[in-house]
Structure 1
Amino acid sequence: MAETLLILGFIILLLAIHDFFYTTLSASGGGFISENVAILSDRIIQFGASTFGRKAYDYHGLFVNLMILFVWLLLIWLGLFMVYSSNPEAITNSSGRAAYNWERLYFTGYTLSTLGMGNFKPTSPFFELVTSCFSFFGFIFFTSSMTYFLSVSSAVVKKRTLAKSIYNLGKNPKAIAKKILALDSSYSYQQIHDLQEKVDQHSVNHQAYPVVHFYSRSEGKDCFSINITRLDEALSILFYSDKGQNLQEELELLRSSISNFLQNLDKNFSRSLPKVEGAHSSEDLPLGLTARNSQELVERRRTLESLLKSEGFSWRQVVEQNQIN
């Protein structure tokens, strides 16, 4: 029993610590634990939004972030408690009495929080070393968590800035396309280049800090999904319109940036995105496209519609007509 608790405790600790450092320091995505906690938390928020309305989306990313932090802390606390519990005499109070279970749980907590109360102490070199290591780890855990959350906050601000920049161009794809065409050519190039940089930056942040994906807003004008979909649809309009030929090179760069983002979505967030049944008919496609590349656009729209549904939107809220008059 003692060996089982010791081994199981260290396994839980190793899994939680690996997931923590991989998620916060690797900038390569989330670990297995944090990814699954995020998906579960997302489903809770989706249920809340369907029950209480869109206001629940204002707490979306915050709830997911706090749940991941809570699970990390819970697993590390549990694992270390099991290690201490492998030997009933491992922890004693100031008078030498062996600690009870709840007292070992208390000792584990203040060891991780680096409080150093001193009313309980380890009794052997092994447990003294374990206590020292996890006191040091507790400091790293909380400082790294705060640094990670600051990075996430910065990425969320940039995500919302991108959404707002697109919204300011127009409230539907047709309006965005017209606005780009109406601008002076040099300013159009600058505007498209600026959007490309923001999309690329968001794509990198989205992959480095996956929890950014779950930050949403109750108001559509501030939501990333509906605005990036409008922009992509506007690009489809411009690509297959004679009026957009002068901007083809710049539009292709922006389109490529959005494509890279959508590929990242398909690769890393397919489990958290709602499934989309069926596909858009050719009647919904931009003029000049139905005879070529229609399947590519249908697949593109399927990914975008999944993103829309993740924030409680439908395709009809994006656009009703995609032609330039």
Structure 2
Amino acid sequence: MQILYAIAGIAIIVYVMKDLITTTLSFQGGGHLTNFISENLWRLCLRLAGHDGKKKMLERVGHMLLVLIILTWVMGMWLGAFLLLLSDPASVLNSTTEEITTASEKLYFAGYTLSTVGNGDYKPGSNLWDIVTNLLAFSGLAFITVSITYIMPVLSAVILQVKLSVFLNSLGNSPQQVLLNCWNGENFDRLLRHDADLADMITEHSQNHKAYPIIHFFHNIEQRQSVVLNLAIFDEAINFLKFGVQEEVRPSDAELLTIRGAQDYYLYVLDRHHKNEEQKPYTFPEMKWDALMEAGIPLKTPLLSDFHSPETFKERREVLTYLLHQDGWSWNDIYRPDPV
């Protein structure tokens, strides 16, 4: 039985440390434990909110997850160290009486060893346990340092996420409005003024998402600050620009290459959240382009009815459909009855 305690303790410590290192230092996403906690807690909260992205309770999920993940690492390391010490009744002794400690005293010893705040009440029972205690103390010090430093880049990534969202929303809060705001009466040169800065922010956000996927769960209930919603709006604006606007007035594919490349990279990174689940068929609300025609934008009128077909921009729209759904939004929030 005692050897099983040792095996279980070592296995838990290794698993938690692997998850910690993968999540904080690999820049390739969260570990299995972190992803399991994040995704399932988010799904639960989203279900409790009725899949309504405007419910205020969803704004606190990201912060709650960050604290919960760190607490899970703490409890996992503590449990692993405790089980390891339980494998030998004499692993920890009372410093004054030299008596063998109880299970509760070993739990206490494991906790203050990992926190590197020893007080001398208890001591390791042999030279072997001296070494084990030192290893646990070093592990605890590394764990505390890495956990604290992990918080800062995550919060920085969340700030950039909000910045990107507000920037996109300033271009327009619907695909139609984006096009109207960028139309100068002759062409869409206004859109190209910001393409380098915008592409840079989208690429940086995508890379942050790849390194720290927990930022996906820092939800905003306001459209202006919802990055998923505003990126979908902007993507649809570029889609329509390429599909439904006459070539002589719209930017060429070469001119859109920078911004389109950043959008493609975003969808590539976020597609990892698309778990290859069976995608429900999606339809678009009725799209109103009257304001674009009134503004004098030359449209490919015969093709407009095909723009909302499920086969048009199929792959990118399937990813966006999933991301919108997982964030509590839908295409009805993109194509509203009052688009301008």
What's the TM-score once normalised by structure 1's chain length? 0.90
Cα deviation code 1:28-63 (max 9, x no counterpart): 111111111111221232134239971112112112
Which of the residues 199, 204, 217 maps onto 1:201?
Answer: 204
Q: Secondary structure at the match of 2:255?
A: helix
Tell me, in whole angstroms, the C-alpha distance in 1 between the residues paired with 2:83 and 2:100: 15
- Partners of 1:48 and 1:56 within 8 A in 2: no
- Partners of 1:93 and 1:119 within 8 A in 2: yes
2:294 aligns with none
Q: CA deviation at 1:256?
A: 2.3
Q: How does 1:1-325 map to 2 (within 5 A)?
A: 1-50=1-50, 54-94=55-95, 95-182=97-184, 188-240=191-243, 241-242=245-246, 244-266=249-271, 268-271=272-275, 276-280=279-283, 288=303, 290=306, 295=311, 297-320=313-336
Look up the equivalent residue of 1:297 and give its one-letter code: F
Q: Secondary structure at the match of 1:199?
A: helix
- Partners of 1:238 and 1:244 within 8 A in 2: no
Q: Secondary structure at the match of 1:248?
A: coil
Query: Relative to structure 1, is the Cα distance of residues 202 and 25 closer, same or farther in structure 2, using a 3 angstrom cutoff?
Result: same
- Partners of 1:2 and 1:87 within 8 A in 2: yes
Look up the equivalent residue of 2:233 and give its one-letter code: R
What's the TM-score once normalised by structure 2's chain length? 0.86
Q: Secondary structure at the match of 1:250?
A: coil
Look up the equivalent residue of 1:12 and give its one-letter code: I
- Partners of 2:182 and 2:189 within 8 A in 1: no
Tell me, in whole angstroms, the C-alpha distance in 2 between the residues paired with 1:187 and 1:313: 29
- Partners of 1:279 and 1:298 within 8 A in 2: no
The structure where helix makes up a greater share of residues is 1
Tell me, in whole angstroms, the C-alpha distance in 2 between the residues paired with 1:220 and 1:136: 46
- Number of aligned residue pairs: give it: 322
Tell me, in whole angstroms, the C-alpha distance in 1 between the residues paired with 2:51 and 2:287: 32
Q: Secondary structure at the match of 2:254?
A: helix
Tell me, in whole angstroms, the C-alpha distance in 1 between the residues paired with 2:31 and 2:328: 26
Q: CA deviation at 1:276?
A: 4.4
Look up the equivalent residue of 2:82 and give its one-letter code: F
Cα deviation code 1:221-243 (max 9, x no counterpart): 21111111100011012112126
Q: Which moved more, 1:296-305 or 1:275-284?
A: 275-284
- Partners of 1:38 and 1:211 within 8 A in 2: yes
Q: Secondary structure at the match of 1:92?
A: strand
RMSD: 2.9
Structure 1: runs of 5 or more not aligned = none
Cα deviation code 1:178-235 (max 9, x no counterpart): 2122399765323122111111011111001111111111222211111111000110
Look up the equivalent residue of 1:65 and give its one-letter code: L
Q: Percent identity?
A: 29
Q: Which moved more, 1:148-157 or 1:233-242?
A: 233-242
Instruction: Please say which structure displays the higher CA radius of gyration.
Output: 2
Look up the equivalent residue of 2:267 and give its one-letter code: L
